[in-house]
Amino acid sequence: MADDGMLLNFELSADAFAPKKTFKGGSWRDRLTAKKSAEWGRQKAKEREAGLKGLIPRFEEVQSDDEELILPDHQPRKRARIDEPVLSDPNRRHSLSKQSSGKDGSRRPPSIPIGGVVSSLFTYNPKSATQESKAELENDFGIEPSNAPLRDELATFTNLGLSPTLASHLLKKLDISAPTAIQRRAIEQLCSADTDAFIQAETGSGKTLAYLLPVVQRLMHLSKQMKDAGEDFNRESGLFAIILSPTRELSKQISSVLEGLLSCCHWIVSSIVIGGEKKKSEKARLRKGLNILVATPGRLADHLDNTEVLDVSKVRWLVLDEGDRLMELGFENDIQKIVSILNLRRTKAMERVLPGLPERRNTVLCSATLKGGVQDLRSMALKEPVSISVDENEKAEGQEAANESKAFSAPAQLKQSYVTVPPKQRLVTLVGTLRQSFKRKGSVMKCIVFISCADSVDFHFEVLTRPSTAPVEGRATEVHKTADVDLEEPSLSSRSKKIAQGTTISEFRTQALATSCSTKDNTVQLFRLHGSLQQSTRTSTLLAYTKCTEPAVLVCTDVASRGLDLPNVDLVIEYDPPFSKDDHLHRIGRTARAGKDGRAMIFLMPGCEEGYIDVLKEGRQRNLTKHDADEMLRKGFSPSSGVTTDRDWENRATDWQLDVERWTLDHPKHLEQARRAFQSHIRAYATHVAAERAVFDMRELHLGHLAKAFALRDKPGSIRVPGLRPSKDDNNRANAARKASAVRSSASASKHDRPDDDTGVQAVSDEREGRRKMQAKMKAMGGASEFNLG
């Protein structure tokens, strides 16, 4: 066919018209090799010429199985693509080029790292299937707090049988004027009758005082009777009550409430044995004598075996607080042992009638639910118990039916919401949510963010306290200003400066400025807490968080979900979903306590996780609100000036995310921490209770996208961080105890962060099942085996 002279619009490479080299001589094999080698050389030249200039990592360096890879059809090599929105959007180009400028303003290639894939936050995201239903947003006017003190004029402590001294002490020293519904029931019952009791009530309803007040009241009565009879009541009069709780934190909390009460009757002496200090000093305290003992089960069982001076022959009350947790943590055997020793050592002293005290030992069990082995505990430790709970008569008008009142549910006044967030946007949405929450000074003072495992807590702590100006090794200093967030660096010592600059990670640092969500006008402090920290660190961190007068965020595992009474928590964020519905209720129960307001928000991923919305709607929940990631990002990343182009917040969010990814890549320690957090997170995800596995389905996780929420650009299968974190107490005794506690707790379904046992060893207790599933999934991804949930 004749050439018609038209030049078609084909894009041709520079070497398209270069004469093709022919190879002569040698064998046909030699000629073929030479030809292939020349072809390879041409291909390389084409790649260089394609203007990639370092923007795109070489194939050998790319590790992703994402959909965000382009496979050029003319050759088999994979090549990573920078997502269109980053390069094609002029705003993004501008933003990238700004970031690529050194201090002197000279252009240099954007710091897209060798060895990873940069994907856009805003493409390829799954969409939420849940329709926003305004019907969900019910009018919350008129919702009565369900755990508040009673307003009935007749419901006074003195009317319930407490002495005027104790009642006025409650008012003057503890600012408590009226009992809550559960306190009314419990005081009525336990002050007069001598029976075992099972107390069940919602979070924040004052269960601690519900069992402490009758004990203190009756001991005060005894001491008065003794005084009238010319006898002294003092610490040597005998040990009358033992209170067991599952964790050291809780025991300390109970002990401090008790001491507060006893300050009006200083002759009644309490003490605490929870481990974490030398047994010798605990023994010395026991030797001095005491009337009320707060303890953890393992430590008490130990003392009953080894401390002769501990006389339990007069014990009239045994209180088992947080019964469900006691069972979950595998204290069944210890409790069984304690109960049988108390029975054995019951002597004539017990038979002597002491005025005002029960004639036989009364056991009181407190638990939010009857599930998780609490029934077993009830049958083992209680005899014909009376059930004490809040019944229908005490509920405000319009609340649920009687059968629901028995169910464990969230406080009625608690405002719950959920936000659907695609996996890639999780981290940046968390930051957006925190920024939004702390934007207005004073609107939120205390917030708790629940995360599934210790490694992930540590990673998020580092990310959220990362300095806004990060010197980068081997590069000019990169200045990243997050627009409306103008931070003042606090004065730092040289060591903490080093830590703040991201060159080192301190195992001991548990408080820092939350640079990611602080503003010039509202600085936010960040705290971290998990079971792998030293006991002393945990205690001081909780104290510092409680006493912090600035706005504060606590990122923690479920170690802080049960029983802890952290004052004035306004907002609870469940960044990682809870491992069971009960865990969820305990977590959100850290806010809206004793009739106060509170908000709780849970992050759910679009897809099967949205099935959890039905769980959120269960019980008396009425004011459930839906949010989406865009909304939180817009609120959190829009400049405070309000001068913004339509989707400026997308650029700001992307800038923030890219900056964190670079920071992670630039510091090997942070990279390892991020990878470890990712691995542990996935293993934890595999351990949801069986009933909820359809909602939190491992097979539905998009690991590549999820990696971005850990600032990682790796192919998930290549993420392998060997070994568990270094043990805090790496000696033989600790290892032996760890093994023992792992065996003890193997029956439990959800022990992701065993907060304590009496040896202080944080047990890596959970989930053979999770490990098995995770191993299968990671094998499919390329293999990784070691995690840490603690």
Ligand X SMILES: Nc1ncnc2c1ncn2[C@@H]1O[C@H](COP(=O)(O)OP(=O)(O)OP(=O)(O)O)[C@@H](O)[C@H]1O
308 contact partners, CB below 8 Å, separation of at least 6: none
Nearer to ligand X, 119 or 591 (CB): 591
**Residue 639: CB minimum distance to ligand X, A:** 39
Residue 203 binds ligand X (CB under 6 A): yes
Locate 504 and state its tokens.
């080192």
CB of 255 to ligand X, least distance (A): 13
Q: Which of 57, 145, 149, 598 binds ligand X (CB under 6 A)?
A: 149
Choose between 332 and 565: whose C-beta lies nearer to ligand X: 565
Exposed/middle/buried for residue 512 (C-beta within 10 Å: 0-12, 13-18, 19+)? buried
- How far apart are CB 450 and ligand X at their closest, in Å? 14
- Which lies closer to ligand X via its Cβ, residue 260 or residue 639? 260
Contact (Cβ atoms closer than 8 angstroms) between residue 214 and residue 186? yes
In whole angstroms, how close is the CB of 266 to ligand X at the nearest point? Answer: 21
209 is a contact residue toward ligand X (CB under 6 A): yes
- Closest approach, Cβ 238 to ligand X, in A, equals 26
Q: Which two tokens stand for residue 228?
A: 């009238």
Q: How many residues bind ligand X (CB under 6 A)?
A: 19
- The full 3-state SS of 543-558, as one line of letters, equals HHHHHCCCCEEEEECH
180 interacts with ligand X by CB under 6 A = yes
Residue 214 near ligand X by CB under 6 A: no
Task: By CB under 6 A, tell whether 57 contacts ligand X.
Answer: no
- What letter represents residue 602's amino acid? I
Please say which residue, 323 or 606, places its beta carbon nearer to ligand X.
323
Cβ of residue 377: shortest distance to ligand X, in angstroms? 17
Tell me the Ramachandran region of residue 680: left when phi exceeds 0, alpha when psi lies from -120 to 50, beta otherwise.
Answer: alpha
- The contacts of residue 779 (CB under 8 Å, 6+ apart) are none
Residues 6+ apart with CB under 8 A from 759: 275, 298, 733, 734, 737, 741
Report whether 457 contacts 528 (CB < 8 A). Answer: yes
Question: Which residue stretches of 229-373 are H helix?
Answer: 248-262, 279-288, 297-306, 323-328, 332-344, 348-351
Nearest in space to 460 (alpha carbons), one of 553, 546, 566, 540: 553
Inter-residue contact 303 to 275 (CB < 8 Å): no
Give me the 547-566 binding string for ligand X, x by CB under 6 A, dash otherwise: ----------------x-x-
For helices 248-262 and 207-228, angle between their N-to-C axes, nearest 10 degrees: 40
DSSP character string of 497-536: HHHHTTS---SS--EEE-TTT--SS---EEEEE-TTS-HH
Minimum Å gap between C-beta 528 and ligand X is 21
Residue whose CB is less far from ligand X, 302 or 583 = 583
Q: Does 208 bind ligand X (CB under 6 A)?
A: yes
Among the listed residues 112, 176, 261, 615, the single contact to ligand X using CB under 6 A = 176
644 near 695, Cβ under 8 Å?
no
Q: From the list 57, 116, 206, 373, which residue makes contact with ligand X (rule: CB under 6 A)?
A: 206
Which one of 173-181, 429-437, 479-487, 660-668 is the stretch in contact with ligand X (CB under 6 A)?
173-181
Give the nearer residue to ligand X in terms of CB position, either 323 or 589. Answer: 589
- Binding to ligand X (CB under 6 A) within 340-379 occurs at 368
Based on CB atoms, which residue is closest to ligand X, 174 or 776? 174
- Produce one character per residue of 662-686: b if its CB has 16 or more CB atoms within 10 Å, e if not: bbbbbbeebbebbbbbbbbbbbbbb
Q: Which two tokens stand for residue 436?
A: 């939004």
> Measured from the CB atom, is 565 or 609 closer to ligand X?
565
Q: Taking CB under 6 A as the rule, does residue 204 contact ligand X?
A: yes
Q: Which stretch binds ligand X (CB under 6 A): 207-215, 484-492, 648-656, 690-698?
A: 207-215
CB of 149 to ligand X, least distance (A): 4
In angstroms, the CA 613 to CA 397 distance is 26
Nearest distance, CB of residue 332 and ligand X, angstroms: 21
Residue 154 CB, nearest distance to ligand X (Å)?
A: 15
Residue nearest to ligand X (CB): 206
Tell me the C-alpha distance between 358 and 764, whole Å.
41
User: What is the CA 624 to chain-centroid distance, rounded?
Assistant: 21
Instruction: Give the residue from 448, 299, 332, 259 showing the smallest Cα distance to 756.
Output: 299
How many Cα neighbours within 13 Å face the side chain of 694?
A: 4
Q: CB 647 → ligand X: shortest distance, Å? A: 42
Residue 655 Cβ vs ligand X, minimum distance, rounded to whole Å: 40
Residue with Cβ nearer ligand X (205 or 525): 205
Nearer residue to ligand X within complex by CB, 170 or 784: 170
Residue 270 touching ligand X (CB under 6 A): no
What is the smallest separation between the CB atom of 471 and ligand X, expressed in angstroms? 44
Q: Is 343 exposed, middle or buried (0-12, 13-18, 19+ CB in 10 A)?
A: exposed
Piece of 83-91, 172-180, 491-499, 778-786 that binds ligand X (CB under 6 A): 172-180
Which position among 64, 128, 146, 205 is part of the footprint of ligand X (CB under 6 A)?
Answer: 205
Q: Is residue 167 a contact point for ligand X (CB under 6 A)?
A: no
Token reading at 184: 């009314």
Options 179, 275, 372, 422; binder of ligand X; rule CB under 6 A: 179
SS3 of 259, please? helix
- For 143-182, letters b (16+ CB in 10 Å) and e give bebbbbbbeeeebbbeebbbbeebbebbeeeeebebbbbb
Residues 91-130, one symbol each (x = binds ligand X by CB under 6 A, - = not), give ----------------------------------------
**Region near ligand X per CB under 6 A, out of 200-208, 275-283, 346-354, 699-707:** 200-208
Residue type, 155: A
The 8-class DSSP code of residue 373 comes to T
**Contact track, ligand X, 584-623, x by CB under 6 A:** -----x---xx-----------------------------
The stretch near ligand X (CB under 6 A) out of 116-124, 203-211, 279-287, 642-650 is 203-211
Q: Kindly tell me which of 587 and 676 has the beta carbon lying closer to ligand X.
A: 587
Q: Please give the residue ranges that form the binding site for ligand X (CB under 6 A).
A: 149, 176, 179-180, 183, 201, 203-209, 368, 563, 565, 589, 593-594
